[in-house]
Amino acid sequence: YSLSSGTTSEELLRKLNEQRDIIALLEVKMKEMKGSIRRLRLAEAQLREEIREKDRLLHAASAAAR
């Protein structure tokens, strides 16, 4: 962001600390999102396995019915 030419070192320090806080919050959010993505990938893999198993059962049942 823009700073006026008469910005004091105290104001600069405050702005720096604000930026640091924002970065820290973003890092926390990124870690949370990575955890969510990991959980979603696991859930997806489990669902795909369930679908494969149900497909196998359906094929076996339809083959036995012939």
Where residue 10 falls (left for φ over 0; alpha for ψ -120 to 50; beta otherwise) is alpha
Q: Is the residue at 4 inside a domain? A: no
User: Does some domain include residue 2?
Assistant: no
**Which amino acid appears at position 6 of this protein?**
G
Q: 4-63: per-residue pLDDT in tens?
A: 677 899 999 999 999 999 999 999 999 999 999 999 999 999 999 999 999 999 999 999
Residue 49 resides in a domain: yes
pTM for the complete prediction? 0.65
1 belongs to a structural domain:
no
Amino acid identity at 38: R
Domain count, the chain: 1
Which range marks the domain in which residue 13 is found? Answer: 9-65
Residue 58 has a pLDDT of 96
State the pLDDT confidence band at 66, using cuts at 50, 70 and 90.
confident
Query: Has residue 23 been placed in a domain?
Result: yes
Strand runs labelled E in 1-66: none
Q: What is the pLDDT of residue 1?
A: 55
